[in-house]
């Protein structure tokens, strides 16, 4: 499959790379890293990365403004995105060919070539493998983006789906480019003071049910009071996914601009993406997101999550 993708990359002179809406470092690292990888090996090609930019992750590189291109002669590569509706910034049906490179559980087929490995830690890991298998030239810039994508999605190689392959590919990248990887961590893990203060609010006001569901509902007034946006709680949730006896964590923030409640959900072994699916969401088995329209829907989602916590003990899962 990696060779097949390389053949398509070689064939097309115009290549557009997209990823999912609400990008995280893996979505950005895999798409921007892939753009730079292609240009490093084929400097004459026109390669564009599209989608809304995320100022918080500007260090991962810039997003292009797509010029007028001849779509009939262009290849679209979408990274880190399992379904059509979550592709940011392009209409895939305009392109001559579409390739998907993803590590989410399968949702739908939308590409001509689909490379899906839902046991891979990250989309960035798949791009590193693409580079390795095809013996592409890699430099430090490319390596830093792909490495940060892997590190962010695995939370520094902590989460499930971090495998020997993840470590092997990360080591290959470091060795190949002499990457000073420890100097990159500041970029990912430096927090704003207001986020730390806001996490104090979350810690004090989070509810924990008898069944092991920890949750907080944050309305727009609270977010304004702390000067944070609806994505902030989700960015802090990893710090709460290792509390004794807590099986599932859900942080739900009102997003007035988009007119939904942005929920991030994490678990330590209970499959949560099926419940997220009922509330305009999805994602990974243990790391999901949902977008219910109202706080009433949030309550009903929390009830479903609480029920699943009640019915499944951690011993029933494969998490020790």
User: What residues line the site for ligand AMP (CB under 6 A)?
Assistant: 20, 24, 86, 234, 264, 280-284, 287-291
**Least Cβ distance, residue 131 to ligand AMP (angstroms):** 23
**Least Cβ distance, residue 176 to ligand AMP (angstroms):** 28
At residue 87, the 3 state secondary structure works out as: strand
Neighbours of 68 (CB within 10 A): 5
Neighbours of 187 (CB within 10 A): 16
**Least Cβ distance, residue 234 to ligand AMP (angstroms):** 5
Between CA 183 and CA 113 the distance in angstroms is 36
**Least Cβ distance, residue 280 to ligand AMP (angstroms):** 6
Which is closer to ligand AMP, CB of 87 or CB of 312? 87
> Does residue 87 contact residue 81 with C-beta atoms inside 8 Å?
yes
**Least Cβ distance, residue 54 to ligand AMP (angstroms):** 12
Neighbours of 193 (CB within 10 A): 7
Which is closer to ligand AMP, CB of 33 or CB of 282? 282
**Least Cβ distance, residue 94 to ligand AMP (angstroms):** 23
Tokens found for residue 207: 């509810």
Which is closer to ligand AMP, CB of 35 or CB of 291? 291
Rg value, the chain, Cα: 20
Which is closer to ligand AMP, CB of 24 or CB of 254? 24
Tokens found for residue 97: 């060919």
Which is closer to ligand AMP, CB of 38 or CB of 292? 292
**Least Cβ distance, residue 28 to ligand AMP (angstroms):** 12
Which is closer to ligand AMP, CB of 136 or CB of 161? 161
Alpha-carbon distance values, 157 to 122, 152, 301 (Å): 11, 9, 30
Which is closer to ligand AMP, CB of 143 or CB of 152? 152
**Least Cβ distance, residue 98 to ligand AMP (angstroms):** 19
Alpha helices in 19-139 (DSSP H): 25-41, 123-133
Of the candidates 145, 141, 78, which has an alpha carbon nearest to the alpha carbon of residue 109? 78
Alpha helices in the chain (DSSP H): 2-11, 25-41, 123-133, 140-154, 164-177, 185-189, 193-205, 220-226, 232-236, 273-278, 295-311
Which is closer to ligand AMP, CB of 36 or CB of 80? 80
Measured over the CA atoms of residue 279, residue 203, residue 28 and residue 61, the dihedral's sign is positive
């Amino acid at each position: 499959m990696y060779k097949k993708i390389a053949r398509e990359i070689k064939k097309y002179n115009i290549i557009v790379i997209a990823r999912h809406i609400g990008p995280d470092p893996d979505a950005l690292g895999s798409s921007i890293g892939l753009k730079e990888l292609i240009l490093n090996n084929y400097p004459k090609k026109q390669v564009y990365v599209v989608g809304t930019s995320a100022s918080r992750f500007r260090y991962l590189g810039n997003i292009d403004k797509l010029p007028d291109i001849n779509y009939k002669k262009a290849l679209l590569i979408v990274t880190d995105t399992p379904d059509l509706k979550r592709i940011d910034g392009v209409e895939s049906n305009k392109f001559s060919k579409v390739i998907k490179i993803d590590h989410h559980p399968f949702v739908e087929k939308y590409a001509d070539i689909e490379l899906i490995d839902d046991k891979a830690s990250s989309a960035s890991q798949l791009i590193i493998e693409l580079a390795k298998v095809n013996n592409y030239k890699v430099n430090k810039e490319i390596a830093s983006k792909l490495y940060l994508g892997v590190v962010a999605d695995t939370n520094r190689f902590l989460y499930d789906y971090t495998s020997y392959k993840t470590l092997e590919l990360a080591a290959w990248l470091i060795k190949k480019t002499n990457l000073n990887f420890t100097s990159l961590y500041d970029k990912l893990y430096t927090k704003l003071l207001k986020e730390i203060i806001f996490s104090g609010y979350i810690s004090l006001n989070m509810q924990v049910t008898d069944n092991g569901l920890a949750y907080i509902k944050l309305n727009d007034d609270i977010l304004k009071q702390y000067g944070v946006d609806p994505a902030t709680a989700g960015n802090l949730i990893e710090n709460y996914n290792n509390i004794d006896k807590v099986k599932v964590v859900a942080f739900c923030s009102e997003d007035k601009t988009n007119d939904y409640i942005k929920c991030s959900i994490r678990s330590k072994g209970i499959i949560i993406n099926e419940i997220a699916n009922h509330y305009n969401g999805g994602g990974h088995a243990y790391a999901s997101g949902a977008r219910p329209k109202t706080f009433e829907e949030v309550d009903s989602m929390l009830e479903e999550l609480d029920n699943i916590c009640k019915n499944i003990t951690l011993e029933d899962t494969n998490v020790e």
